[in-house]
């Protein structure tokens, strides 16, 4: 499986962005996909995750009510709709896939290349 993330950019505080992550290859091996982010000088942190079937979703407390993770089944694509962005959301966002549903980096064995989101105040 290979993952290609896109959709990052520069946005003002209060604005919105939608990130996409296209999965190619043997996607039948994927049980769950997630979004993580890494701000400068900080550890990579969990943002959101969803099972491939879409029946289980989890969000980090910091993004609940503002971000929505979803899957486009026919397109093998993962999305992250980000609304009401704040400067603290500035980071490189990575998508990941793996054989189990986790809210930590452990368990995700395929990673996309990352897309930069910058939120100005």
Residue 76's pLDDT band (cuts 50, 70, 90): confident
Is residue 78 within 8 Å of 69, Cβ to Cβ? yes
Neighbouring residues of 92: CB distance < 8 A, sequence distance ≥ 6: 8, 37, 38, 39, 114, 115, 116, 117
- pLDDT at residue 52 in the model: 87
- pLDDT at residue 54 in the model: 87
Region 88-98 average pLDDT: 97
What tens digit of pLDDT does each residue of 27-63 get?
878 899 999 999 999 999 999 999 988 899 999 999 9
pLDDT, mean over the chain: 94
- pLDDT at residue 43 in the model: 96
1: tokens are 């499986």
Is residue 51 within 8 Å of 32, Cβ to Cβ? yes
What tens digit of pLDDT does each residue of 108-117 get?
999 999 999 9
CA distance 107 to 100: 6
Cα distance between the two ends of the chain: 37
Half-sphere exposure of 85 (CA within 13 A, CB side): 23
């Amino acid at each position: 499986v290979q993952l290609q993330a896109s959709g990052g950019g520069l946005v003002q505080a209060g604005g919105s962005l939608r990130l996409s992550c296209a999965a190619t290859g043997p996607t039948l091996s994927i049980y769950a996909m997630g979004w993580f982010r890494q701000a400068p000088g900080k550890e990579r942190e969990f943002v959101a995750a969803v099972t491939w079937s879409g029946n289980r979703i989890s969000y980090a407390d910091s993004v609940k009510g503002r971000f929505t993770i979803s899957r486009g089944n026919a397109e093998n694509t993962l999305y992250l709709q980000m609304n009401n962005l704040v400067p603290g959301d500035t980071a490189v966002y990575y998508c990941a896939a793996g054989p189990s549903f986790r809210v930590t980096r452990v368990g995700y064995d395929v990673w996309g290349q990352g897309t930069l989101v910058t939120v100005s105040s």
